[in-house]
Amino acid sequence: MQDNVRDLLGKEISCLDKGFVRLIDVMGDDDAIVQAARVSYGEGTKRVTEDRGLIRYLLRHLHTTPFEMVEFKFHIKLPIFVARQWIRHRTANVNEYSGRYSEMKDEFYVPAVEQIRPQSVTNKQGRSEQAMPPDVASRIVSQMEETQRELYDEYQSLLGDNLARELARINLPLSNYTEWYWKIDLHNLFHFLRLRIDPHAQYEIRVYGEAMAELVKQVVPIAWEAFEDYILHSTKFSRNELAVLASILPADLPEEASLEKFGLKGREAREFLEKVRLHLQRS
């Protein structure tokens, strides 16, 4: 394990008001991706530039199996409603804090006043960009805090009556914090982050995604660069949309050498021109 990665282990990044993301363990790095792709080569027999080119080629062409050779294990503290969104990604190993065996903690998520916003009129599952009036937002925050206190007091009272923990917990709100260990390979982690650090993702889970991204990019900087170029900041076009683009593209394509100023050179530049030519022929 490289020294810079070892220094990241145990590092805690605060999330929301009481949560965190902590990197517990890592298996593999950029070299592990290259090794898995080449299988038979010995460490040190290839130049860094060649390794970078290979990693970029793999992700560009969606040859994702080598990325599964890198794994991350996180310790995460998060509100239950965020955890329920998160667990939709069924590609990780998860072990969560149990309210059946342990007493739930008196820790609840309370949104910052600036996050108290009305329902969006254009997005049925999201909040508006428009802020609530300050007095209304403050009243809502106070109401949330009061309800959380009342429900936790009730929970403690039920425990005092010797009600089983698995039953006493059922009226606790989704704002209650939980914790889990979450282990996932890099291929599936990239998919998770593509969705959860997108600007359209819910703010609360996006905070966690951004914290994880800060750690991941330090462990696999070459793979992360490729992820940003080919997945995170890329887009797809439908057949009809491509037909529109074909109708406005110039008949004469640029020379390969002229593409270097856009970061495209060598094989990547040739692949780009071939994709454009192929679509023009189909159109």
Active-site positions read: 196
Element (H, E) at 141: helix 134-160
Residue type, 141: V
Give the pair of three-digit tokens for residue 150: 């009342």
Q: How far is the C-alpha of 34 from the C-alpha of 37, rounded, in Å?
A: 5
Residue 12's SS3 state is strand
The residues pairing with 21 across neighbouring beta strands, listed in sequence order, are 13, 76
Measured from the Cβ of residue 122, the count of other Cβ atoms closer than 10 Å reads: 7
> Which one-letter DSSP state was computed for residue 228?
I
SS3 sequence of 144-213: HHHHHHHHHHHHHHHHHCCCCHHHHHHHCCCCEEEEEEEEEEHHHHHHHHHHHCCCCCCHHHHHHHHHHH
CB 97 within 8 A of CB 215: no
Element (H, E) at 280: helix 267-282
CB 86 within 8 A of CB 206: no
SS3 sequence of 73-129: EEEEEEEHHHHHHHCCCCCCEEEECCCCCCCCCCCECCCCHHHCCCECCCCCCCECC
